[in-house]
Amino acid sequence: MISITYQSGCPNCGGPITGYRSYNGLPCEKCLPLSPNALPEQSRTKAIYDLLVEFGNLKGFWRINDIEESVDTINKFFVQITGHKPWGLQTYWLKRYIQEESFSMSAPTGLGKSTTIMVITAHLALQGKSVYYITPTKSLAEQTCDKLKSMKLDYACNAIDNSSVIVSTYQMLNRNFDKLENRKFDLVAVDDADAIIRSGKTAERVVKLLGIPNELFENAVKLVKLKRLLSFYKVMKPDDVDALQQKIDELVVTIAKNKVDISQLIIASATARPKGIKQEALKYLLGFEASTIQFYMRNIVDAFTKIDLESVISKIGRGGLILVSKDKGKTLLKQLRERVESLGYKADLAVSGKKFMDKFSRGETDMLIGTASYYGVAVRGLDEPYRLRYVVFYGVPKNRIKLIDAVKNPLNSIKIGRVLGFKTDQWENQVLSLSPQEMQIIKIANIRGEKLSGKLGEIQERSNNLAEQILDYVKDLNRRIVGDSFIIYKENGVFLAYPDMMTYIQGSGRSSRLFNGGLTKGLAITIIDDDELYKILRKRLEYLIDAFTPVQFEEVNLPPLLEEMEKTRIDGGKKFDIKTSLLIVESPTKAKTIAKMFGYPVKRMFSPTVMGYETIITDESTMTSRLVTVIATRGHLFDLTLDNIGEFGIEIEGEEIKPHYSPLNRCKSCGRILSTNQEKCPYCNVELIPHSTPIIDAIRKVSLEVDEVLIATDPDVEGEKIAYDVASMVIPYNKNVKRVKYHAVTKDEILTAIRNAGSISIPLVESEVIRRIEDRWIGFYLSSMLKAHFSSQNHGAGRVQTPVLGWITDYTKEYKSHLGWIAVLKVDDLRVEKFFRSKKEAEKYINEISEISISKINEKVEVFSAPSPFTTDQLLMEASVRYRFSPELVMSVLQNLFEIGVITYHRTDSTYVSPTGIGIAKTYLYQKGLGNFYSGRSWGHSGTHEAIRPTKSMDVEELKNEIRSNPYRYSIKFSEIHFKIYDLIFRRFLASQMTDALLSITKYEIDVGNERFVQELPTKMSGGFSALYQLKLYNVSEGKFRPEKVLRRGSTFKLPNYADVIHMMKNKNIGRPSTYSKTLQQLKRHGYVIESKKNKMLVATRRGMNVYTYLTEKFPDMISETRTAYLLKQMDLVAQGQLSPDVVVGELRSDIRRSISSISS
C-alpha cells in the first residue's frame, strides 16, 4: 500500500502529514490522533477545532475555524441590516472583508455591490471604526447618506468632521484634504474608482487615507519605474539587466517587509485600467488591480438596419437610449432630440451629471440621447432596468486616429502595408515576435523622434520606411482602403478607423440589467452607416460574445419581443446562478490565456511571486456565471524529498510504501529547484527561497473564500498527481473540490470540462508516484555508483536513458569503424554517392569524373494514402527531419501553443480526431475552395486523448493576421519557430481530413564513368491532400551534365538523428509522449551525447561510452531494454487500475537488491 507523506503539509502545525489525512480534511496524526471516520460530516471544522483545543494542540487551524465563525457572524449581521441573507457574490465579498483584504468587486450593477459595502460600513461603524466613502457625484453621495441615516449611523455627508463615516465626492476630498491629511481610516470605500485610476493626485490622497507611509509609497512608485525600465534594458542594455533585476528584487523584499498596518480599500466598480505610475504602484501595496468591464449573462436581441431613426423608434416606442457615433460630432445630438420630439416623445441629452437620469426614471422623459463613448456617462453611467428597454446605435460605434500617428506603431504599418500590397514578408515575423514592451519602445521612440539601435533599431528603420511609403501612397487617395480590422479614408485629413466593440458591449448592456432576481430582456439596434466597419465589429464580437448572432431589424417579430421585454421588467427576467470558484492550472501562461478568454481579468497579487486572475466564466447552457480566480501552480508543488529519509526519500515499513514529498525551494545563487526542508542549498550553501509554499498559501487562502475548487492541471498522469497534491492541500480549507480535464485551452473545451467536472483518479496518481519512485531509486542508485566509480559529480543514469545511450553508443561505434571518404556528385536534386576507405582513392575518383548521364527508365503513378494527424513522437520526428529542431525545442514550442489555446494537448499517442476537429477541417477546406478534397476521418476511437490538431480553422497566415489585429491576445512571444511548428501541425491535420493523393515515382538510370546506378525518386504529387501537405519531391533533368562535386568525411553506417532515436523508443516501447524529449535532454546534459552542428546527428562521447560500458557490465538486467519496457507496461496497468502499485514497487526493490548483491559478491 502506498501512503504519501507531505513534509510541511499539515494545516495546523505545518509539519508532516499523510496524503490520506489531508485528503480527508484532517490535521496530522500528531496534532489529532483520530481517524477521519471518528468525526462527524456536519460541522466538521468546528469538531476538529474543539478536539485540537481539548488535546492542547491548536495552532494554525484556528484561522480556518475563525473565518467560518466570522462568516457566520457577518451573515447574521447582513440579515439584520437588510432583512435577507447574502447570496453567492455577497458572501464571497464578505469573506474577503473579514480577512481584511483590499479588493475590487467584479460585477455589474444589480448584483448587490452597494448593499454589501453599506453592510460593511455599518459593521465597522458600529465597532467604533472609521470609514471614508467616496462617490463620483453629489447626488450619489446624498443617496448613500440617506441609507446611512436609515441605519442610524454616525455620518457626515459632503462635510469633513469627526464622524465615524464620511461620505463625499472626489471633488470634496480634493478641496478639503488638508483637514484629513493626518487622519487614517479603517476602510476607504470607493463607489467608482475611475477618478483614482485617472488621477495620480487623487491616488496619492487615497494612499494617505489608508495610512500608507510616504516612504513605502515612494518605494512602490520606484518599483513601477524600475519594472518599466527593465523591459527597455532587456532589449537595449542586456548587460545591465542582472544588476537592475537585483535592485527590483531588493525593493520587492523591502516593500513586503514594510507592508503592514495598511487599511482596507474596497472598490465597487471601475472601467478604466490604471495607467499612471502612482496608480499602478497601488497594486503592489494593496494586492490587486482595479477591475475593468466584466461580462456576465446577456439577454439581448442584437439587430442591424439601414432604415432611418424615426422608423426604428416608431416601431418600438418609449424607453430607448440613442448612442451616436463619436465621429458625427456633438451638435448632432440636439438635432436628433428635435427629430425624436417631432414624433411626440420627450427626449433628453445624456451628456453630464445625473439629472437627466432622475427625470428619465420618474417618467418625465421617454428617450435619452448620448455619445457612443466607452467612458461617456450615457454608456457606463446609466442603470435604469425598469424604464430603459432598448439601445439604438446611430452609426457603428467607432474610434479613429490620424494615419500619420497610426503608422508610428510597427504593427499598424505592417497591417496597412499588406493591404496596400507592399512587401513585408522579409521582416514581418520579426515584428510579430516582439513583446508588448518592445513594441511600446519603438512606438514611443517614433513619437519622440528618437532613433533606436540594435535589433529594435533595425525594425524601427524598416517600419518607418514602410510608414513613409504608406503616407506617400495615400497623398492622392480617392478611395476607401479596407483591411481585416480597420478602414482608411480621407475626410479633412487621412484617418484610420476601427469599430469600438467595448462601447457596443457596454452600451447594449444598458438594455438588459439585473432586476427582481433575473436578467431583463433587451434589444440593441445598430443603424449602419458603414458596411465594412459593421462587418469588422460583428466578426470581433462573435469571437468575444458566445452566441452573438445579430439579425436584420426588419425581420424581428417585434410584438412577442416587446411583450417579453415588458414582462421581464415586472416578473423578473432570465434567472441565472452565480458561483465563486478557484480554478487551478499549471502554468502562468495558461492562467492568463483562460482569464483573458472570458473577459478582462482583475489581477490579484498574493505575494511578490504569486499572481492570480479574477475573471467571469459564463455558461449560457446551464445559466451559470462563475466569478473565477485562476492561479497557476507553476508545475509541481511537491517532489520526492532530497532529505535523508528512508531509501532516497521512500520509507518501507512492512507492506506499506511511504514516499515523502517536500515543497520546492529555489537557491538564490545557482537557481536550482530543490525538494527539501533544509534552509540552505546543498550544492552552494546559500539560502533557499520558498518556491511552492507561497503558491500553496495563495490557493489555501482563496479556497476559504470560494464555493468550489476546480483543479484543471494537464490531462495526463503527471497532471493527475499535481491535482492530488493540490486537493490534499486545500480540502481542509474547502471540501468542494472537483477535477476538471480539457484537451484544448478554448472556451468550449473549458465550459464542457467544468460542466463534466469529476474526481481525481487515484490509479493515475499511483502510477505517477511509482514512476517517480522508480526514477529516484534507479537514478540515485546508479548515479551514486557512477559518481563513485568515475570520481565526478556530473554523472547520472536512469532506466530509460541507459538503453537510449546504448543505441547511440552502438551507432557511434559502427559509424567510426566504417569511417572513410564519400565522393558526392550532384545534378539538380539527384545525388550519387560512393564510399572510399582512403581520401586518395576518393580524390582520384572524383577528379576523373567530368560528366554524368541521366535518363528516365519509366514512371509509375501510385495512390498515396492521406497521413494520420500527428502524435507526439511523429511530430517530434517530422520537425527533426524537416527543420532539424531538437525535441526539447519542439516540446517547449508545443507547450506554448497549447497554453495559448491554438492547438490541442501535445503529449499524446492517439491519432483520434473528435467531431469538433473534423468540423474545423471541413469548415477550412470549404472556405478555401478545397471542399471537393474533404474526407472526414476520426482515425480511431474516442479515448483519453486526441491527436495534436489546431483548435480553430485558422492557418498560419490567419494566425499572423490575428496577432497583427490584436497583439495582446496571446500571452507568449511568438518566434519563427512557433509559426513553423503551427504550420506543420495545421497542414498535417488538414491532410488527414482530405482524400488520398496521386504520387508519381520515376526510375532513373545514371551513368557515371564505367558504372551505372538506378534510383527511384518521387517527382510529382497531385490531387487530394497534396494541395496542403507535400512530400519531398525531386527535380531531375535528363541528359548529360557536368556534376557538382563534393568530397566529405563519412561512413557506410549512418549516425542517428533525433527522429531515428524517437522512432526506436516508440517501437521498442520504452518511451512515452512525456519522456521522449526529457530522455535526450538528460543524456546531453550529462555530456554523454552531443549533437553534430551541421546535420544535427547524435554522437556518443567518450564519457558516454565509458558510462554505458560500466552500466552494462555491472547492471545488465536492471537497464536492459526488455526489463525497461516491461516495467513501463506495468506502470500503465497501474494507471488503468488493473495492477496493484505494491507489486511494481516490490519488483523495483528486488531489481535493485539483486544488483547490489551481484556487485557485492
Which residues on neighbouring strands pair with residue 587, listed in sequence order? none
The whole-angstrom separation of Cα 732 and Cα 32 is 13
Amino acid at 879: A
Residues 138 and 148: beta-carbon distance below 8 Å: no
Helices marked H in 656-761 — which ranges? 693-703, 717-730, 747-755
Q: What cell does 1147 get? A: 519488483
Contact 1091, 1097 (CB under 8 A): yes
**Rounded CA separation 426/763 (Å):** 52
CA atoms within 13 A on the CB side of 1127: 30
Nearest-10 Cα torsion for 1083, 1087, 1089, 1090: 130
Give the Cα separation of 731 and 700 in Å (integer): 9
Q: Which residues pair with 614 in a beta bridge?
A: 602, 629
Cα 1131 to Cα 747: distance, rounded to the nearest angstrom = 33
Give the integer Cα–Cα distance in Å for 470 and 494: 11
What's the rounded Cα separation, in Å, for the pair 304 and 307? Answer: 9
- 905 among known catalytic residues: yes
C-alpha to C-alpha distance for 958 and 923, rounded to whole angstroms: 14
Task: Give the DSSP H/E element, type plus range, for residue 66.
Answer: helix 61-82
Measured CA to CA, the distance from residue 1050 to residue 1030 in angstroms comes to: 30
Alpha-carbon distance of 403 to 388, in angstroms, equals 38
Residue in 209, 213, 231, 211 with CA at minimum distance from that of residue 221: 213
Q: Which of 195, 191, 170 is nearest to 180 (CA)?
A: 170
By three-state DSSP, how is residue 43 classified? coil
Q: Read off the C-alpha cell for 1048.
A: 566529405
What is the C-alpha radius of gyration for the chain, rounded to an integer number of angstroms?
34
The percent of the chain in helix, strand and coil, each rounded to the nearest 5, is 45, 20, 35
Q: Which residues pair with 400 in a beta bridge?
A: 497
CA distances from 1035 to 824, 883, 1042, 1047, 1071 (A): 17, 20, 16, 23, 37
- Active-site choice (170, 905, 982, 1108): 905
Beta bridge partner(s), residue 26: none
Distance of CA 437 to the CA centre of its chain: 18
Query: Cell for 313?
Result: 423608434
Q: From 498, 500, 492, 479, select the one nearest 420 (Cα to Cα).
A: 479
Angle between helices 531-544 and 501-508 (to 10 degrees): 70
Report CA dihedral (137, 142, 147, 151) to the nearest 10 degrees: 130
Which residues are catalytically annotated?
A: 905
